[in-house]
């Protein structure tokens, strides 16, 4: 009974707890929290995240197509618009502070880890329905909010003189936490409409794989440090 009282996202997270732990407590995250992450690792991550955002805008465009109600269409359309009209510009400005020009970002070659996760999300959405798509998106959208909250609450975190403090505070902000909560609520609504007991294991598979691919994205950053 208690299991059913959890939100769909919390149920999925509990069912894929090992993958979730590996993602949210990855060495990249821990080093970022204490300010010891190599700057080359963070710059590589930022450049790849630019490409990541482009593909996620495509995923939300697919979400509009896969939606079956106007409310769901508007949800995905708003998310796509936020990425294209706001987040991309903010990301470019943030990258410039790390020595990455718009031209650098445009000429960045897509890493295998970036390709693996973004194509998985798109292929999951193409093959399935809106619930499959938003389940695949959720580890990123909701996970970043949880990671930032955990970093802020951790006594081992060093914010003073931490070059990654702006990144941490951006995802810990009320604005982004609200984005994550909206994604949780939307996933719950889709689950109420479409989830059956027989379907749940497949959804866990999608969530677990997406979470593993998120951890691989962090690992990519560490491996490219120089």
* pLDDT tens column, 6-45: 899 999 999 999 999 999 999 999 999 999 999 999 999 9
Which residues are CB-contacts of 48 (< 8 A; sequence separation ≥ 6)?
108, 110, 111, 113, 114, 217, 220, 221
**Nearest 5 degrees, angle CA 55-CA 61-CA 62?**
90
Number of C-alpha atoms within 13 angstroms, CB side, residue 128?
21
pTM above 0.85, yes or no: yes
* pLDDT tens column, 107-129: 999 999 999 999 999 999 999 99
Which residue's entry shows tokens 């963070």? 42
**Spatial CA neighbour of 52 closest among 110, 101, 130, 139:** 110
Angstrom distance (rounded) from CA 16 to CA 13: 5
Backbone torsion region of residue 35, taken as left when φ is above 0, otherwise alpha when ψ lies between -120 and 50, otherwise beta: left
Residue % of the chain over a pLDDT of 70: 97
- Average pLDDT (204-211) is 98
Instruction: Phi first, then psi: give them for residue 110, nearest 5 degrees.
Output: -70, 125
Average pLDDT, the chain: 95
| Residue 225 reports pLDDT greater than 70 | no
Which residues are CB-contacts of 10 (< 8 A; sequence separation ≥ 6)?
none
Give me the pLDDT at residue 1, please: 42
- Domains of the chain are 39-223 (1.20.910.10)
Cα distances (angstroms) measured from residue 162 to each of 31, 95, 166, 167:
10, 16, 9, 10
Residue 5: pLDDT band with limits 50, 70, 90 = confident
Angstrom distance (rounded) from CA 28 to CA 9: 24
Question: Catalytic residue numbers?
Answer: 140, 214
What stretches of 83-199 show up as alpha helix (H) in DSSP? 88-96, 102-106, 112-127, 130-153, 165-172, 174-194
């Amino acid at each position: 009974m208690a299991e059913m009282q959890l939100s769909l996202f919390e149920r999925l997270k509990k069912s894929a707890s090992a993958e979730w732990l590996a993602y949210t407590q990855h060495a990249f995250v821990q080093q970022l929290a204490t300010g010891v992450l190599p700057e080359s690792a963070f710059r590589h991550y930022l450049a790849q995240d630019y490409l990541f955002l482009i593909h996620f805008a495509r995923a939300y465009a697919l979400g509009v197509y896969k939606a079956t109600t106007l409310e769901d269409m508007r949800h995905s359309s708003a998310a796509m618009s936020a990425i294209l009209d706001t987040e991309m510009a903010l990301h470019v400005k943030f990258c410039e502070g790390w020595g990455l020009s718009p031209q650098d970002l445009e000429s960045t070659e897509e890493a295998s880890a970036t390709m693996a996760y973004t194509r998985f999300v798109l292929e999951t959405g193409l093959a399935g329905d809106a619930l499959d798509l938003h389940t695949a998106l959720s580890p990123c959208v909701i996970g970043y909010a949880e990671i930032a909250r955990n970093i802020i609450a951790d006594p081992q975190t060093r914010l003073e003189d931490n070059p990654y403090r702006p990144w941490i505070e951006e995802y810990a902000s009320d604005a982004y936490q609200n984005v994550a909560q909206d994604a949780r609520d939307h996933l719950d609504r889709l689950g109420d409409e479409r989830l059956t007991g027989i379907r749940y294991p497949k959804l866990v598979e999608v969530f677990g794989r997406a979470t593993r691919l998120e951890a691989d994205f962090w690992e990519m950053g560490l491996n490219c440090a120089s």
